[in-house]
Amino acid sequence: MKNQINIQNKKAKFEYHLLERFTAGMQLVGTEIKSIRAGKASIKEAYCIFESGEVWIRNMHITEYGNASFYSHQPRSDRKLLLNKKEINKIEKFLKVKGNTIVPLRLFISDKGWAKVEIAFAQGKKIYDKRHSLKEKDDKRSMDRAMKKL
């Protein structure tokens, strides 16, 4: 299968300091995978929580599948992330510290056809950090323009 679906959270790099990344599978029900394969999902407002020994992704929007009958899914329900025990314990320890969060960066279809989500440990940026990021981005863009003229 081709890895054509690549839904990204572009704001995450601007809003957070990203520390460590993981790739996790998702437990989907009903017609959710068909909507994801159609590219009708959003992870812009999503975040991950640790609850009763499991990691869940909350507030991820998967649009209802158009050709489904009454067996359609809920668009914003919590979805379980499939990680191994070592990763779950690491996530639990990370989330105990105040100010830490886990954000999804990318939703994609693997080579085997499974829906996967790339998540990252994150700490929120301060306003001056965001300004610094914008300044670096502008500097890089102007340097690229200058190099292109040469």
Domain definitions of the chain by residue range:
6-125
Q: Residue 143: what pLDDT?
A: 92
Q: Which tokens sit at 76?
A: 């914003």
Work out the average pLDDT over 49-54.
88
Q: What is the rounded average pLDDT of the residues 54-69? A: 82
Identify the weakest region by mean pLDDT among 5-14, 20-29, 53-62.
5-14
Q: 53 by DSSP, 3-state: which?
A: coil
C-alpha 53/C-alpha 58 separation (Å) is 16
**What's this model's pTM, rounded to 2 decimal places?**
0.75
Is residue 53 a contact partner of residue 22, using CB atoms and an 8 Å limit?
no
CB-based contact 113:16 (threshold 8 Å): no
Checking 63-70 for CB contacts under 8 A at 24+ apart, the result is 63/35, 64/31, 64/35, 65/30, 65/31, 65/32, 65/34, 65/35, 65/38, 67/34, 68/30, 68/31, 68/34
Nearest-5° angle of CA 41, CA 43, CA 44?
Answer: 120
CATH 2.40.110.10 matches 6-125 = no
Cα dist. 15→49, 77, 83, 125, 133 in Å?
18, 24, 25, 6, 10
Higher pLDDT, 122 or 3: 122
